[in-house]
């Protein structure tokens, strides 16, 4: 071992390695990756800091105060949290059955060619900007709700508090319907992919035991993929919660908590969109930013759960092996 | 097992299977409904003035959205300049260099950033760019859109780089190329179709974003030279015009909606075309 070159040390060695270029490339790409970390941390930090005024003044009562009054500097998030949850719930009630059914059709029944074409069209639907859904919401869904759909619902279900009271066309239900149309494509495309990961043997075994096509799908394939499907629902929910433009255009923008789904309401995202530029006074702005923080945390938790569920399904199905 | 039971099961089978088909058909119909309605309403109000003139003052009919079209393009340019390089490089890091733990953290953060509601991104850009200088600007809007471009680009870049076969890398290295040379001259070109597709899709997505622009780029009824002034954009114009009480503005909102939708759908189609062609090669 006599002819070994003595290892270079310190700066010289570092510069030598740089000359190869690999370290430089590594460093540059690493910086970009770290940049993402920096941006995200900065985002959380900014939201936290700029909402400090409101957080200190109102504390936890912010969440259950029902008043939103800029003239008296009294701000509570309750009507907005209520509106956000109600519209998203309506959206899911409509979108989940519709989305799951379509996903089943695309993964289990449709021939490959048809399934691919339809999936492509559904992906296009997901790409339509939300302001365009809002535009169609204002000029199609709102009049439809005022003249046709609303009165019909009232005739059938008017005895419940949910469907009573005056119907202006704008309100929770209209916003929920528009949101449902917007999130359906997400439920379909994720569920379809998850359903397609279910092993063929599962279907064949069920069919061999004499199950009908529907029974094998509903009792074997869907349960196998259930956590992934749940994941797609959570993703859709996270999107519905954060959706701004379409909702702002059709919900009526009135910070009230009403049992009736026909009543106008307000959501977290819409109030930020509407009032941010006209927020006079630091506390007003700070309260709006705190609403943004609440929205961020809600979607953060949902997205995290969704991802876990989808990964769990793709690793080995809903059943323990 | 009795006969009626089997008939019942068969009936349930065909009814439910038909319903799934009806559901899928209904959802696809929505797309054509949107397209048809926009073409019907927007096409009628779309004319040459729309592309060449400034908005008319309130009360006068006519005019166009030339400034908003240019504004949207400028905002997209800013978003691309800021978001695409970071996204591309971070994607390269994740696919080619990353260690286990740090890569996991970055991937997780990227997904997190992707899930942040666009209105919250708007607040962030407001606090970052608008608050210090105390006025709305094209730059602030570009920052907001740029941040949204990053996570989409990262994930698609990583995905397509990973799809490049390891044998290509080994071949290049066996010929004596260093790692970065391998990446730059072999791996990236092999994945370029996919990466380009991802970038185009990312830009198509932010092109339609309205919420993050409301209090960053704000809006402007005139031309906005440079980067430091409030600037008009198509999505914000659609929003303002749609909620206005004027019929003429509604017509223009339809026209703008048609232009925006065409822009977004065509870039989606274009992206898929690039992908299909690069796969065929």
Measured between beta carbons, which residues in chain B are less than 8 angstroms from residue A26?
93, 97, 180
pLDDT(B72) > 80: yes
Whether B137 and B229 have beta carbons less than 8 Å apart is answered as yes
In the prediction, which pLDDT does B1 show?
A: 52
In the prediction, which pLDDT does A71 show?
A: 84
* pTM metric for this prediction: 0.91
What value of ipTM does the predicted structure carry?
0.91
Mean pLDDT, residues B88-117: 91
Q: Does B20 touch chain A (CB under 8 A)?
A: yes
Specify the DSSP element, H or E, that contains B44. Answer: helix B3-45
**Helix, strand, or coil (residue A74):** strand
In the prediction, which pLDDT does A75 show?
A: 92
User: Which one, of A226, A237, A229, lies nearest residue A303 by Cα?
Assistant: A237
Contact B207 A129 (CB under 8 A): yes
Q: Does B239 touch chain A (CB under 8 A)?
A: yes
Contact B31 A130 (CB under 8 A): no
In the prediction, which pLDDT does A136 show?
A: 94
Measured between beta carbons, which residues in chain A are less than 8 angstroms from residue B22?
101
pLDDT(B59) > 80: no
Q: Residue A1: pLDDT band by 50, 70, 90 thresholds?
A: very low
pLDDT(A321) > 50: no
Mean pLDDT, residues A52-60: 91
User: Which one, of A194, A151, A170, A177, lies nearest residue A262 by Cα?
Assistant: A170
The domain ranges of chain B are 3-45, 50-280
Out of B12, B97, B268, closest to residue A214 by CB = B12
> Which architecture does CATH list for B50-280?
Orthogonal Bundle (1.10)
In the prediction, which pLDDT does A9 show?
A: 65
pLDDT(A2) > 50: no
Distance CA B113, CA A228 (A): 21
Measured between beta carbons, which residues in chain A are less than 8 angstroms from residue B126?
276
Sequence-separated (6 or more) residues with CB below 8 Å from residue B26: A98
Distance CA A250, CA A170 (A): 5
Mean pLDDT, residues A162-166: 86
Out of B106, B151, B272, closest to residue A37 by CB = B106
Distance CA B179, CA A254 (A): 59
In the prediction, which pLDDT does B177 show?
A: 87
Q: What is the pLDDT of residues A210-244, one digit of tens each?
A: 999 999 999 999 999 988 899 899 989 999 999 99
The domain ranges of chain A are 10-50, 60-316
| Structure token digits, residue B225 | 């030279």
Q: In chain A, whose CA is at the least distance from the CA of B180?
A: A22
In the prediction, which pLDDT does A278 show?
A: 85
What is the C-alpha R_g of chain B?
24
CA of A103: how far to CAs of A310, A316, B27, B43, B273, in Å?
15, 20, 11, 33, 25
Mean pLDDT of chain A: 89
pLDDT more than 90, % of chain B: 68
pLDDT more than 70, % of chain A: 93
Chain A, chain B: beta-carbon pairs less than 8 Å apart: 257
Mean pLDDT, residues B209-237: 90
Top residue of A21, A31, A33 to mutate, by most chain B CBs within 10 Å, is A33
Q: Residue A117: pLDDT band by 50, 70, 90 thresholds?
A: very high
Give the CA count within 13 Å in the CB-facing half-sphere of B106: 28
Biggest CA pair distance of chain B: 80
Residue window 47-76, chain B: list those with CB within 8 Å of chain A: none
Alpha helix (H) residue ranges in B163-224: 166-174, 179-182, 188-207
Give chain B's end-to-end CA distance (angstroms, integer). 57
Q: Residue A8: pLDDT band by 50, 70, 90 thresholds?
A: low
Contact B90 A29 (CB under 8 A): yes
Q: What is the pLDDT of residues B243-279, one digit of tens each?
A: 998 888 999 999 999 999 999 999 999 998 888 887 7
Measured between beta carbons, which residues in chain B are less than 8 angstroms from residue A134?
239, 242
Q: Does domain A60-316 fall into CATH 1.10.3720.10? A: yes
In the prediction, which pLDDT does A316 show?
A: 64
In the prediction, which pLDDT does A103 show?
A: 96
Candidate from A68-77, A203-212, A278-287, B58-67 with smallest mean pLDDT: B58-67
In the prediction, which pLDDT does A3 show?
A: 58
In the prediction, which pLDDT does B224 show?
A: 85
Q: Residue A313: pLDDT band by 50, 70, 90 thresholds?
A: confident
Q: In chain B, whose CA is at the least distance from the CA of A129?
A: B208
Q: In chain A, whose CA is at the least distance from the CA of B243?
A: A249
In the prediction, which pLDDT does A168 show?
A: 87
Mean pLDDT of chain B: 91
pLDDT(A4) > 70: no
Whether A227 and A309 have beta carbons less than 8 Å apart is answered as yes
pLDDT(B214) > 80: yes
Measured between beta carbons, which residues in chain B are less than 8 angstroms from residue A188?
24, 27
């Amino acid at each position: 071992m006599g002819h070994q070159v003595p290892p270079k040390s310190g700066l010289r060695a570092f510069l030598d390695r740089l000359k190869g270029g690999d370290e430089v490339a590594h460093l540059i790409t690493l910086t970009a990756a770290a940049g993402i970390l920096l941006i995200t941390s900065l985002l959380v930090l900014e939201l936290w800091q700029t909402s400090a005024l409101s957080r200190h003044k109102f504390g936890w009562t912010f969440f259950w105060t029902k008043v939103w009054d800029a003239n008296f500097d009294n701000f509570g998030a309750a009507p907005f949290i209520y509106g956000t949850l109600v519209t998203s719930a309506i959206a899911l009630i409509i979108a989940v059955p519709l989305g799951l059914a379509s996903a089943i059709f695309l993964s289990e029944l449709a021939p490959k060619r048809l399934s691919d074409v339809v999936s492509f069209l559904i992906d296009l639907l997901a790409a339509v900007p939300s302001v365009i859904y809002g535009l169609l919401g204002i000029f199609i869904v709102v009049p439809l709700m005022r003249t046709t759909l609303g009165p019909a619902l009232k005739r059938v279900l008017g005895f419940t508090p949910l469907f009573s009271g005056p119907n202006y066309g704008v309100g929770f239900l209209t916003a929920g319907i528009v949101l449902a149309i917007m999130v359906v494509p997400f439920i379909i495309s994720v569920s379809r992919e998850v359903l397609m990961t279910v092993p063929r043997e599962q279907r064949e075994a069920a069919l061999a035991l004499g199950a009908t096509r529907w029974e094998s799908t509903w009792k074997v394939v869907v349960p196998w993929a259930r956590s992934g499907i749940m994941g797609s629902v959570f993703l859709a929910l996270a999107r519905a919660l954060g959706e701004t433009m379409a909702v702002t255009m059709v919900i009526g923008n009135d910070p009230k908590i009403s049992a009736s789904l026909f009543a106008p309401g307000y959501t977290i995202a819409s109030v930020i969109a509407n009032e941010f530029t006209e927020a006079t006074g630091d506390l007003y702005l700070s309260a709006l930013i705190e609403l943004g923080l609440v929205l961020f945390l809600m979607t953060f938790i949902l997205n995290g759960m969704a991802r876990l569920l989808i990964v769990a399904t793709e690793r080995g199905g809903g059943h323990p092996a | 097992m009795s006969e009626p039971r089997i008939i019942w099961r068969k009936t349930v089978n065909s009814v439910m299977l038909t319903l799934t088909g009806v559901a899928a058909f209904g959802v696809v119909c929505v797309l054509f409904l949107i397209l048809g309605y926009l073409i019907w309403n927007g096409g009628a109000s779309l004319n040459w003035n729309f592309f060449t003139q400034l908005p008319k003052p309130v009360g006068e009919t006519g005019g166009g959205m030339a400034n908003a079209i240019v504004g949207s393009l400028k905002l997209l340019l800013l978003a691309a300049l800021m978001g695409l390089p970071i996204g591309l490089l971070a994607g390269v890091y994740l696919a080619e260099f990353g260690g286990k733990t740090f890569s996991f953290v970055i991937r997780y953060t990227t997904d997190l950033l992707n899930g942040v509601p666009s209105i919250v991104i708007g607040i962030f850009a407001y606090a970052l760019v608008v608050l210090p200088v105390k006025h709305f600007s094209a730059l602030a809007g570009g920052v907001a859109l740029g941040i949204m471009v990053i996570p989409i680009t990262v994930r698609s870049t990583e995905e397509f780089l990973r799809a490049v076969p390891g044998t290509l890398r080994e071949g290049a290295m066996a010929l004596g190329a260093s790692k970065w040379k391998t990446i730059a001259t072999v791996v990236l070109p092999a994945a370029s179709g996919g990466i380009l597709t991802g970038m185009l899709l990312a830009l198509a997505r932010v092109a339609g974003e309205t919420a993050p622009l409301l209090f960053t780029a704000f809006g402007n009824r005139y031309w906005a030279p440079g980067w430091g002034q409030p600037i008009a954009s198509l999505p914000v114009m659609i929003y303002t015009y749609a909620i206005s009480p004027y019929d003429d503005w509604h017509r223009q909102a339809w026209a703008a909606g048609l232009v925006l939708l065409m822009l977004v759908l065509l870039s989606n189609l274009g992206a898929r075309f690039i992908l299909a062609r690069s796969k065929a090669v």
